[in-house]
Amino acid sequence: MTNKIAIGIGLLIALGLTLDYALQGWDGTIFLGKKFTELIEWLAFWR
């Protein structure tokens, strides 16, 4: 991965988090965090 790609991905993530905070007050980020935690627990069950 080149530096340009890494910076672009970082900016997209920062933009997404900023928009989530501005438009929804972190609701989207909290939802995805909870779902990711459920996925990790589900995967750990199958281990």
d(CA 31, CA 29): 5
Whole-number pLDDT of residue 39: 95
Whole-number pLDDT of residue 46: 78
Please tell me whether the overall predicted TM-score, pTM, comes out greater than 0.75 for this model: yes
Whole-number pLDDT of residue 17: 96
pLDDT tens figures, 1-47: 899 999 999 999 999 999 999 999 999 999 999 999 999 999 998 77
Terminal-residue alpha carbon distance, the chain: 31
